[in-house]
A = this chain, B = another copy of it.
Amino acid sequence: MRADKKPVMNEMRKAIPASVIRRFPKYLAHVQAVREVGEVWVSSQALALALGLTSSTVRQDLSHLDYSGVSKRGYKVEELEKILVKVLGLEVSRNMVIVGAGNIGRALALHGDFHRKGFTIRGIFDSDPSLQGSRVGGLTVQSMDALKGAVAGEKIDIGVIAVPASAAQDVADALAKAGVKGLLNLAGTHVRAGEGVAVVDVRLVASLQELAYAIKMFEGE
Binding site for B on A (CB under 8 A): 1, 3, 7-12, 15, 19, 21-22, 24-26, 28-30, 33, 49-54, 87-90, 92, 94, 96, 103-104, 106-108, 110-111, 113-114, 117, 119, 157-158, 181-184, 188-190, 192, 196-219, 221
CA distance A200 to B211 in the complex (A): 6
Residues of B within 8 A of A157 (CB): 215
In the bound assembly, the distance between CA atoms of A181 and B221 in angstroms comes to 14
* Distance in angstroms between the alpha carbons of A47 and B49 in the assembled complex: 37
As for how many copies of this chain the complex holds, the number is 2
Determine how close the nearest CB of chain B comes to the CB of A92; give it in whole angstroms. Answer: 8
User: Chain B residues near A200 (CB, 8 Å)?
Assistant: 207-208, 210-211, 214
Q: Is the CB of B198 within 8 A of A215?
A: yes
Cα A197 to Cα B210 in complex, Å, equals 13
